[in-house]
Amino acid sequence: MENFSMNEVPFDYLSTIGLTKNRLLKLDNLNLTKILTGRRTDILRFDFYHNGKRYIVDGKLLLQRNADNSVSANVVPVRKSLKNDYNLTADEQIKLYTGKLINKNIDGHRHILQLDRETNEILRARTVNIKLPFDIDVRDRERLLTGKSIKVQDETGRQYNIRLDLLNDRKFSYDGEQQQIRYAGSFFVKTDLNPDDIRKYNLKDADIQRLLDGYKTDLIDLNDGNGVNGKLGLKRNEDKTVSLEVYPVKNEMNNDIALQPDQIEKLKRGELVSSEIGGKMFLVQLDKETNDLVRAQKENVVPDVIRGYELKDDEKQRLMNGQSIHIADPRTGETISAKIDLNHVRGVELKDDTNKLRALYTAGEKAGEILEKQTTNKLERDKFLSRNNLDKNDLSNSARAAFDERQKFFFDYHNPGVTAYIQTDRNRGEFLAFSRQQKASAGMKI
């Protein structure tokens, strides 16, 4: 593994593009580890002035060792779309978009191509130049060159699963590295979170993921010096900026909307209630952990369309009564469960294949076992694999690709007009196509 010491980091250059030594050292441990081991960071924002003009660039940072043993820092900017410099066919582009490696003859030499789906950069490497610090036979090398993983053993006898990974300076990565969660979100992206807030509230991976998926965190220590616990949530403002909302635990519920005793009892049982507030009808829900009364205007919560399916009046009523409904996505046949949850930024909690996909890609080699536990019926498993275009022989990696694509689409769909690094021209096109399909349906859609 290529390692760099902190003394080798070219801070003088980095400071000219807005990444001072102090700011770099405040990055989370995962990104610091990536920098010092030759891997690309998550998306960082570089904010700097050059010749009196301000530039704001989103990109990844990568350290590379030069022939003279010096170290240079490269910034890989986010591109709006994939640039087809290699005369790729439509099928080859799809393979890249779904996280696969492809082999391509370029100038008479065999190359490996891989897409960084967060920056839309195509990376390439000549196969003859890929050197591994392991002894492998010809068959295993060919498996690697076609994008499959193999088992290797280091000098201590410890075994690893590795695959080629051009995003890594050493050109391969271990299973554990491949499964790192990159905090893709359905509603927000990691750059919406202030790193100072992550440190202040000591946010764990699960807390960050909940925030970016539109949920409040579980109860955490608010670190206010008084030992107060509470929850955090993200909110999209009218000017498209994002703010972090703090919900401290209250000693008791504040009934400032004059709810009746029977309504309060329903709330305590976890039910929704309807209440007229200021001449308009609202749905009200109690967060029993913080004693907050969460409210939302009825007409702004209950959707007309969910994933292309137009809700019937009785289904809308069941939602308003706090019941779950189950619908089938008319495009994929996927069963979706929906229920009002005012603690979610959308107001409606949807359960579909997304969490299953997340569980599969984080499971690594055990993805097959997890899938069988998730879905015991073989016919239903086959339908799940088919509608998500999953490769049974490379289940974890293909699930990762499918999960990423879902998150990108959902983010675009719920944040029209918001530019973020997880958007691409490709999924922007998917969003527009989906919107046109729904154009005939009026009202709120999910």
Task: Give per-residue burial for 282-311: e unless 16+ CB within 10 Å, then b.
Answer: bbbbbbeebebbbeeeeeebbbebbbbbbb
Q: Is the dihedral of CA 360, 123, 29, 163 positive or negative?
A: positive
Q: Which element (helix H / strand E) includes 246?
A: strand 242-248
Euclidean distance between the first and the last CA atom of the chain, given in angstroms as a whole number: 45
Confidence of residue 416 (pLDDT cuts 50, 70, 90): low
Token pair 């769909």 is found at 413
Both 43 and 118 in one domain: the answer is no
Q: What is the spatial order of strands in the sheet that 229-236 belongs to?
A: 220-221, 229-236, 242-248
**Is 420's pLDDT higher than 80?**
no
Both 213 and 154 in one domain: the answer is no
Phi, psi dihedrals of residue 404, rounded to the nearest 5° = -60, -45
Inter-residue contact 17 to 33 (CB < 8 Å)? no
Q: Is residue 36 part of a domain?
A: yes
Confidence of residue 239 (pLDDT cuts 50, 70, 90): confident
Q: How many CB atoms lie within 10 A of CB 198?
A: 17
Both 382 and 396 in one domain: the answer is yes
Helix (H, G, I), strand (E, B) or coil at 27: coil
Give the C-alpha separation, 8 to 192, whole Å: 30
**Is 125's pLDDT higher than 50?**
yes
* Structure-block tokens of residue 286: 């109690």
Q: Which amino acid is at 125?
A: A
Q: Is residue 289 part of a domain?
A: no
Q: Which element (helix H / strand E) includes 405?
A: helix 395-414
Rounded to an integer, the average pLDDT of 102-125 is 90
Both 337 and 417 in one domain: the answer is yes
Rounded to an integer, the average pLDDT of 331-360 is 88
pLDDT at 332: 77
Confidence of residue 234 (pLDDT cuts 50, 70, 90): very high
Token pair 């004059």 is found at 258
The CA dihedral of 36, 40, 42, 45, to the nearest 10 degrees, is 90
Task: Count CA atoms closer than 13 A to 345's CA, side-chain side.
Answer: 25
Q: Is residue 278 part of a domain?
A: no
Q: Is residue 443 part of a domain?
A: no
Q: Is residue 207 part of a domain?
A: yes
Q: Is residue 83 part of a domain?
A: no
Count of domains forming the chain? 4
Task: Give per-residue burial for 146-160: e unless 16+ CB within 10 Å, then b.
Answer: ebebbebeeeeeeeb
Rounded to an integer, the average pLDDT of 364-382 is 90
The string of pLDDT tens digits covering residues 377-393 is 999 999 999 988 888 88
Q: What angle do CA 155, 156, 161 make, to 5 degrees?
A: 80
Both 67 and 129 in one domain: the answer is no
Inter-residue contact 303 to 443 (CB < 8 Å)? yes
Both 326 and 422 in one domain: the answer is yes
Contacting residues for 33 by C-beta, under 8 A, at least 6 apart = 39
The string of pLDDT tens digits covering residues 46-98 is 888 888 888 888 889 989 888 898 999 988 888 877 788 898 988 888 788 77
Both 109 and 49 in one domain: the answer is no
Q: Is residue 143 part of a domain?
A: yes
Confidence of residue 178 (pLDDT cuts 50, 70, 90): low
Distance, CA of 314 to chain centre: 34
Both 67 and 97 in one domain: the answer is no
pLDDT at 431: 35
Rg (the chain; Cα; Å): 24
- Give the bridge partners for 100, in sequence order: none
| Average of per-residue pLDDT values in the chain | 83
pLDDT at 184: 64
For 199, 335, 350, the CA distances from 354, given in Å and listed in that order, are 28, 12, 10
Concatenating the DSSP letter of every residue in 264-323 gives HHHHHTT--EEEEETTEEEEEEEETTTTEEEEEEHHHHS-SEETTEEPPHHHHHHHHTT-
Which of 56-60, 102-106, 390-394, 396-400: highest mean pLDDT?
Answer: 102-106
Confidence of residue 415 (pLDDT cuts 50, 70, 90): low
Q: Is residue 271 part of a domain?
A: no
Both 327 and 410 in one domain: the answer is yes
Domain that holds residue 103: 90-178
Rounded to an integer, the average pLDDT of 246-255 is 91
Give the end of a domain, one of 178, 197, 223: 178
Q: Which amino acid is at 211?
A: L
Give the end of a domain, one of 131, 149, 178: 178
Q: What angle do CA 396, 150, 101 make, to 5 degrees?
A: 60
Give the C-alpha separation, 423 to 136, whole Å: 39
